[in-house]
Amino acid sequence: MTAQPLLAVDAPSLYFRAFHGIPEKAARTSAGEPVNAIRGFMDMLAQLIRTRHPDRIVCALDASWRPAWRVALVPSYKKHRVAHGDVEEVPASLEKQVPILLEVLAAVGIPAFGVEGYEADDVLGTLAATQPAPVEVVSGDRDLFQLVDDDRKTRLLYCGRGVAKLEDADNALVETKYGVPAKFYADFAAMRGDASDGLPGVAGVGEKTAARLVTRYGGIDDILAALDDPQAGFAPGVRTKLDDAREYLAKALPVCKVALDVELPPFDAAIPRSPRNPEEFLVLAERWNLASSAKRLVDALAG
């Protein structure tokens, strides 16, 4: 019998997607309060549970969306997404919905937590590294392709085009998509850069060149070691670009790598087959006009 997976959900990735995917005017309370992110998240969760048949589930949160230790290494990290101080720029109507969504998850009995000093990605990485296999990580963040591990039976359910069009990623899919094995995805990403995270990458080294370098030499440590060998076969221009970027690469790699050893709080991942606090769940569903989404989620949990 095939073991049932742990569904490790990147909650911010899904609720941002829900918020932007469902018009506010289409999901409101009778008082006109938007609940599009909550409804969308609940519906996505119901679909994932119904189609993936997990026996465990955890939602990871960003306790620190821009950890100081990552910023210290690469100051531009997520800088363009700062609203003020160290506060993330989040639409006001979404910001109001997140605490309500967390109340809904608590009433259902689905653990949702972050860890101070770390992002949701790091919580997901630690779950993938420490929890019994199989683990299915759900996210629209391509950085998490690095967690794919066929031996450990860790897959990424990549929802870059939505939950209805999941890419069920094993190592073969990562190699087909990016030209590198999943274990070197972070090295590849550090060289290529990522404007959405404020990571500049190596000037003049794009996705194809980064993939070729990984294929030929391995990870960044191997590539930098090979730079010191005049017989290593780098094109002169590429050698110069990498040599100029040594300091950046040494700092960018730990920024791009997801932590696998975060100290997680105690949690019970066993999937609830009915709401743990049905009275509270009913009150929330009625107060926030979530009846249809609540029914879909309850039906999915019941199997």
pLDDT in tens, 122-157: 999 999 999 999 999 999 999 999 999 999 999 999
Cβ within 8 Å of residue 190, ≥6 positions away: 199, 201, 220, 249, 252, 253, 255, 256
Beta bridge partners of 270: 56
Give 22-44 pLDDT, tens digit per residue.
Answer: 999 999 999 999 999 999 999 99
Question: How far apart, in whole angstroms, are the C-alpha atoms of residue 254 and residue 181?
Answer: 18
Confidence of residue 223 (pLDDT cuts 50, 70, 90): very high
Residue 234 resides in a domain: yes
Same domain, 108 and 252: no
Same domain, 226 and 94: no
CATH number for the domain spanning 78: value is 3.40.50.1010
What's the average model confidence in pLDDT over 259-272? 97
Is residue 55 scored above 90 in pLDDT? yes
Same domain, 290 and 141: yes
Give 92-129 pLDDT, tens digit per residue.
Answer: 999 999 999 999 999 999 999 999 999 999 999 999 99
Give 62-96 pLDDT, tens digit per residue.
Answer: 999 999 999 999 999 999 999 877 778 999 999 99
Q: How many helical (H) and strand (E) elements, i.e. helices and strands, does the chain have?
A: 13, 8
Residue 209 resides in a domain: yes
Residue 103 resides in a domain: yes
Output the pLDDT for position 83: 80
Is residue 57 scored above 80 in pLDDT? yes
Output the pLDDT for position 294: 98
Same domain, 137 and 19: yes
Residue 1 resides in a domain: no
Quote the percentage of the chain above a pLDDT of 90: 90
Q: Where are the alpha helices (DSSP H) in the chain?
A: 11-21, 36-52, 68-73, 92-108, 120-130, 171-178, 185-192, 207-217, 220-227, 236-244, 246-256, 278-287, 291-302
Same domain, 89 and 150: yes
Same domain, 142 and 227: no
Same domain, 201 and 85: no
State which amino acid sits at residue 108: V
Output the pLDDT for position 235: 86
Number of other CB atoms surrounding residue 221 within 10 Å: 13
Same domain, 106 and 201: no
Residue 92 resides in a domain: yes
Sign of the alpha-carbon torsion through 81, 84, 85, 89: negative
Give 192-207 pLDDT, tens digit per residue.
Answer: 999 999 999 999 999 9
Number of other CB atoms surrounding residue 181 within 10 Å: 18
Domain containing residue 148? 6-179+259-302
Mean of pLDDT over the chain? 95
Task: Classify residue 208 as exposed, middle or buried by CB count within 10 Å of its CB (0-12, 13-18, 19+).
Answer: exposed
What's the average model confidence in pLDDT over 287-296? 98
Residue 166 resides in a domain: yes
Output the pLDDT for position 1: 59
CATH number for the domain spanning 229: value is 1.10.150.20
Please provide residue 286's backbone torsions phi and psi, each rounded to the nearest 5 degrees. -75, -45
Length of the chain counted residue by residue: 303
Same domain, 10 and 109: yes
Is residue 49 scored above 70 in pLDDT? yes
Is residue 229 scored above 90 in pLDDT? no
Instruction: Name the domain boundary from 218, 235, 256.
Output: 256
Residue 274 resides in a domain: yes
Total tally of structural domains belonging to the chain: 2
Question: How far apart, in whole angstroms, are the C-alpha atoms of residue 139 and residue 144?
Answer: 8
- What is the Cα 229 distance to its own chain's centre? 37
Quote the percentage of the chain above a pLDDT of 70: 100
Same domain, 71 and 186: no
Same domain, 251 and 136: no
Residue 11 resides in a domain: yes
Confidence of residue 236 (pLDDT cuts 50, 70, 90): confident
Question: How far apart, in whole angstroms, are the C-alpha atoms of residue 236 and residue 153?
Answer: 40
Q: Which residue has the higher pLDDT, 298 or 1?
A: 298
Same domain, 120 and 162: yes
Give 211-221 pLDDT, tens digit per residue.
Answer: 999 999 999 99
Task: Classify residue 92 as exposed, middle or buried by CB count within 10 Å of its CB (0-12, 13-18, 19+).
Answer: exposed
